[in-house]
Amino acid sequence: MLSIGELSRATDCKVETIRYYEKIGLMPEPARSAGNQRRYGERHRDRLHFIRHSRQLGFSIEAIRELLSLADHDHQDCAAVDALTRHHRQEVEARIRSLAALRDELDRMLRDCAGGDIAHCGVIQTLADHGRCDSEHI
């Protein structure tokens, strides 16, 4: 059994984050020692690795909650996992397109900046007037 500090070190996850995941129900309640200290097992460590890897891949907390629920039933069809992952990939693609448009707009702003004083700075002028932008970037 691991203390919360040992689990933190074993998973490279902050103690506060582990407590948060417990609070929102992503991590099961750990057993308690006679001194009321949290005690974690291999199941907790594996689940925390799953959550952290999912977060690194950009899955939302709610998507992770759903993935964990599906993972807890390992004999069912994985179509729901596939659908959830495809949806997440579509969201990532949309973010990539949005970030590429943002990058292009910033590049354009920098090209329009001819140097000199702030009163004639193309970047400042564009930031003050959204109409000068070439695209919508929200």
pLDDT of residue 115: 76
How do residues 97-120 score in pLDDT, each as one tens digit? Answer: 999 999 998 888 888 777 778 887
Question: Cα–Cα distance between 59 and 80 in angstroms, integer?
Answer: 15
pTM: 0.79
Taking residues 23-42, report their average pLDDT.
Answer: 92
| Tokens 């959550």 -> residue | 51
